[in-house]
Structure 1
Amino acid sequence: MGFLLTVSFLIHGLSLFCIILLYMQVTKVKRIERLHQQNINKMEAAMSSYLAEFQEQNEQFLRQLRERSTSLSSEMEESSAKSPLVDEEDVPVQRVDLKSEPSQSLHELLSIEENQKHISTSFDELTTDQIQDLSGEEIKEFSVYLKGKGLTIEEIAKHLHRGKTEIELLLKFHQ
């Protein structure tokens, strides 16, 4: 009988110890959830203030744009009212010689084309280390180049070691 009583106390002690451990885990999780909720509230406040500031800047920009357009339209009306209309007979006719030389020579056009080919071949020869060292503008140019070659956004992102969304945004802003 004493043996069973001892075993019962041991089992009760072990269960009490497990309950204490579980209670500590629950309080730890609740504390983490509270901290997470506080961080979410801070982020929401920061984003809402940023959006409010952004909206204010947009409204200010629109007001300035409207002011400029009204001032330009009034200036154009004033200038059109001040300047008399010109008769077509008074305007001298300029003759263009169709046999004249073009503004850019063939050599200039060929050098521009060779530079573009050189850029495309230099893009093809980049190693992964060189790709990681590219600046923002070079990454943009390279992603546009790869898109022109027919690669998908996922393939470009994999090739540049960047995120798919980052490449999508680069290409969207390029358009």
Structure 2
Amino acid sequence: MTYILLVISILFNLTAFLAIYLLFLRQNRLLHIEQRNKQSLKEIEETFTSYIYEIKEENTAFLKQFEQLQDETDRDHTDTQEKSAEPELVSPSIQRASRSLAANRYRKMASSEEEHAEPVSPIDIIESMEETVIRMNNEGFSIADIAKTLNKGQTEIELMLKFQKKAD
């Protein structure tokens, strides 16, 4: 009987050692994963840092260019002010009169264009679409070509043609 208890005790000890060993391996795996994650985190942080540094350099370069352009426009503005200081050949009253005359002519042209423009109803557009489909079909275009040309679906073109045949 003691022999059986001794064997059972040894089996329990071996099982315990095996369980401890498996737990040790899992813990080591977790430690390795944690180290890899820390390393990845460092790499990501370095990447972001370098990216931010590049953006900062680009911003400073942009600001320098902007200041240069602003200085150039200021110089141009002062040059134009100096030129505008020269006496004007046309009096302000003549300038106002020419502006009002131009505005009146523009209004007349716009109103005459509105009077001559014919309103297009949606029915006319639909009819012209059907007529276009029928004309293109009579000219020998395929349904796919008609659909591509008119930016419509092939099924829609087929239905238009079928309805036209039924109407005839």
**What TM-score do the two structures reach when normalised by structure 1?**
0.55
**Distance in 1 between the 2:60 and 2:12 partners?**
71
Q: Deviations over 1:63-111 (max 9, x none)?
A: 1111111110121112211332545135361312222136987579999
**Distance in 2 between the 1:109 and 1:56 partners?**
57
SS of 1:73's equivalent in the other structure is: helix
Alignment RMSD:
3.2
The equivalent of 2:109 in structure 1 is 100
Unaligned runs of 5+ in 1: 115-121, 126-175
The equivalent of 1:33 in structure 2 is 34
CA 59–104 in structure 1, closer or farther in 2 if over 3 Å, else same: farther
More deviation, 100-109/88-97: 100-109
Q: Flag the structure with more relative contact order, 1 or 2, with Cα contacts below 8 A and sequence separation at least 6.
A: 1
Q: Percent identity?
A: 20
Q: Looking at secondary structure, tell me which structure has more helix per residue.
A: 2
CA 48–85 in structure 1, closer or farther in 2 if over 3 Å, else same: farther
Deviation at residue 23 of structure 1 after TM alignment: 0.4
CA 6–67 in structure 1, closer or farther in 2 if over 3 Å, else same: same
Q: Deviations over 1:23-63 (max 9, x none)?
A: 00110111111111111111110111011101110111011
More deviation, 82-91/36-45: 82-91
Query: Bigger radius of gyration, 1 or 2?
Result: 2
Deviation at residue 9 of structure 1 after TM alignment: 0.8
SS of 2:109's equivalent in the other structure is: coil
SS of 1:36's equivalent in the other structure is: helix
SS of 2:93's equivalent in the other structure is: coil
Which letter does structure 2 place at the counterpart of 1:45? E
Which letter does structure 2 place at the counterpart of 1:33? E
CA 13–107 in structure 1, closer or farther in 2 if over 3 Å, else same: farther
Q: In the TM superposition, what are the counterparts of 1:12-51 in structure 2 within 5 Å? A: 12-51=13-52
Q: In the TM superposition, what are the counterparts of 1:156-175 in structure 2 within 5 Å? A: none
Unaligned runs of 5+ in 2: 126-150, 154-168
Q: Deviations over 1:93-134 (max 9, x none)?
A: 1312222136987579999xx9xxxxxxx9xx9xxxxxxxxx
**Distance in 2 between the 1:103 and 1:54 partners?**
56
**What TM-score do the two structures reach when normalised by structure 2?**
0.57
SS of 2:11's equivalent in the other structure is: helix
